[in-house]
């Protein structure tokens, strides 16, 4: 089983999503329609598909907006808009283009869904995407199949959604056949030959069940010092270590579990968590600790360290917790963790050294948002991204699992 090592570094992610999102919200909310007035003419037999395509294409080519926004800019009776949307979705190339423009802006999914309901009617099968005979569902299935076949690595898949099943991810990696099973890249401050020594060294310090405070001696490798701190929270088999590198002034967190517990689907597994965190990291979420690297063979992961600034109001109230982690909802994730407030911290400029690359970070500071360091209790739900049999599986809600 191989999962391609591809960088998850935030500073390598293009600003495409944010720029498209801004244009999406501005053009849609302002209802800007620059298409010549009265150009649209209705056919007595129904929608004039040819004329509607002319208008649709005009917005794409003249206004340079995405296909989904071009569709939302159009004005016609709901039945005719629904017929036109069905026509687009029935065409392989045009449906791929339209759906890709939706998938590319995940934070706009809820807004686009509501706008589509207004355009085609809430009872249209095109917005009832859970129906097997929904034109949108059928087109989305084709889109996923093509996207999967074209993907050069699992990172391209995890950028779209986090709930790919293990079989699909492993198969994709076997097709690419590059390197050891992994998601992401090892931080450059930790040479691979050093990591090969650090992991076995920390494995000797692992505990199961109740964990106890302990001193872990420094490691000096090729003159480079690594300092460790053991976190004792949690009773699962997962062990968490802080790693500080004085020479680089960098701090990381290593999460480890027994190799025999490796899984990309099971509740509480580091692999399932890596899928979720890869999706959040690739979409530059400000409310989640960025994932650097996950090794499936040895079942460990490396994260950027988040400063432990206590939240203003420690609470187990899920409504309050969600209100401080709004980017999860924007990205289609439902955060369900009430196990303990030590899983999240106050977001501030000292939280992480790459904070300026996170989506909406500055505004989040004013709203006193939080950042989560453990996302076991998360589900994914996006009406415009229905599950496709053979490719996706429900993220396990670990709230039902004893920890």
Compute the 3-state secondary structure of the chain and give helix, strand, coil in percent, each to the nearest 5.
Answer: 40, 15, 45
Residue 339's pLDDT is 61
Domains by residue range for the chain, with CATH: 10-150 (no CATH), 182-304 (3.30.200.20), 308-400 (no CATH)
What SS3 state is found at 213? coil
Residue 283's pLDDT is 96
Instruction: Write the CB contacts of 249 (distance below 8 Å, at least 6 apart in sequence).
Output: none
Average the pLDDT over 309-338 and give the result. Answer: 89
The model's pTM:
0.87
Q: How many CB atoms lie within 10 A of CB 335?
A: 23
Instruction: Write the CB contacts of 15 (distance below 8 Å, at least 6 apart in sequence).
Output: none
Whether 31 shows a pLDDT value over 60: the answer reads no
Residue 14's pLDDT is 39
82-88 — which CB contacts under 8 Å span 24+ positions? 82/119, 82/120, 82/121, 82/124, 82/126, 83/46, 83/47, 83/49, 84/47, 84/49, 84/52, 84/53, 84/56, 85/116, 85/119, 85/120, 85/124, 85/126, 85/135, 86/126, 86/135, 87/49, 88/56
The residue written with tokens 């995940």 in the block is: 106
Based on the number of CB atoms within 10 Å of its own CB, is 201 exposed (0-12), middle (13-18) or buried (19 or more)? middle
| Distance from the Cα of residue 62 to its chain's centroid | 32
Average the pLDDT over 2-27 and give the result. Answer: 42
**Per-residue burial over 59-94, b = 16 or more CB atoms within 10 Å of its CB, e = otherwise:** bbeebebbbbbbbbbbebeeebbbbbbbbbbeeeeb
Average the pLDDT over 101-128 and give the result. Answer: 97
Q: What dihedral do alpha carbons 13, 18, 21, 25 form, nearest 10°?
A: 180
Which tens digit of pLDDT belongs to each residue from 386-395? 999 999 999 9
The residue written with tokens 């706008």 in the block is: 115
Tokens encoding 354: 């790459």
Distance CA 134, CA 99 (A): 14
Distance CA 182, CA 90 (A): 37
Distance CA 304, CA 302 (A): 7
The neighbouring-strand residues paired with 256 are 239, 300
Distance CA 354, CA 288 (A): 12
Distance CA 112, CA 110 (A): 6
Distance CA 182, CA 176 (A): 12
- Mean pLDDT, the chain, whole residue set: 86
Which tens digit of pLDDT belongs to each residue from 353-384? 777 788 998 999 999 999 999 888 899 999 99
Distance CA 149, CA 156 (A): 11
Residue 22's pLDDT is 47
**Per-residue burial over 260-290, b = 16 or more CB atoms within 10 Å of its CB, e = otherwise:** eebbbbebbbbbbbbbbbbbbbbbbbbbbbb
Residue 357's pLDDT is 82
Which tens digit of pLDDT belongs to each residue from 169-219? 989 988 877 656 689 899 999 999 999 999 999 999 999 878 888 999 999
Whether 10 shows a pLDDT value over 60: the answer reads no
Distance CA 169, CA 158 (A): 9
Q: How many CB atoms lie within 10 A of CB 120?
A: 23
């Amino acid at each position: 089983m191989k999962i391609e090592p591809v960088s998850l570094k935030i500073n390598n992610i293009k600003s495409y999503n944010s720029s498209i999102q801004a244009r999406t919200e501005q053009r849609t909310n302002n209802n800007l329609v620059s298409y010549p007035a009265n150009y649209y003419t209705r056919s007595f037999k129904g929608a004039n598909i040819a004329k509607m395509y002319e208008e649709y294409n005009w917005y794409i080519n003249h206004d340079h907006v995405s296909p989904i926004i071009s569709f939302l800019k159009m004005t016609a009776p709901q039945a005719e808009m629904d017929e036109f949307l069905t026509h687009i979705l029935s065409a392989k190339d045009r449906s791929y283009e339209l759906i890709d423009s939706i998938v590319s802006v995940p934070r706009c999914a809820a807004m686009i869904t509501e706008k589509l309901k207004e355009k085609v009617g809430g009872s249209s099968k095109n917005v009832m995407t859970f129906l097997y005979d929904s034109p949108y569902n059928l087109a989305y299935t084709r889109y996923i199949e093509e996207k999967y076949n074209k993907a050069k690595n699992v990172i391209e898949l995890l950028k779209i959604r986090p709930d790919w099943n293990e079989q699909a991810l492993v198969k994709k990696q076997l097709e690419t056949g590059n390197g050891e099973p992994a998601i992401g890249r090892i931080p450059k401050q930790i040479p691979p030959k050093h990591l090969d020594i650090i992991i076995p060294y920390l494995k000797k310090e692992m505990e199961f069940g109740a964990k106890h405070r302990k001193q872990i001696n420094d490691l000096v490798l090729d003159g480079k010092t690594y300092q460790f701190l053991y976190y004792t929270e949690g009773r699962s088999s997962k062990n968490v270590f802080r790693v500080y590198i004085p020479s680089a002034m960098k701090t990381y967190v290593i999460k480890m579990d027994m190799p025999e517990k490796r899984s990309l689907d099971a509740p509480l597994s580091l692999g399932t968590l890596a899928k979720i965190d890869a999706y959040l990291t690739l979409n530059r979420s400000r409310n989640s600790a960025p994932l650097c690297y996950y090794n499936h063979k040895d079942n460990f992961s490396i994260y950027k360290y988040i400063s432990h600034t206590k939240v203003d109001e420690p609470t187990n109230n899920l409504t309050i917790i969600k209100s401080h982690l709004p980017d999860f909802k924007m990205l289609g994730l439902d955060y369900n963790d009430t196990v303990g407030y030590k899983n999240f911290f106050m977001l501030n400029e000292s939280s992480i050294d790459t904070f300026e690359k996170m989506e909406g970070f500055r505004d989040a500071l004013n709203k006193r948002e939080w950042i989560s360091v453990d996302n076991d209790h998360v589900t994914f739900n996006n009406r415009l991204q229905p599950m496709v049999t053979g490719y996706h599986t429900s993220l396990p809600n670990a709230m039902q699992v004893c920890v």
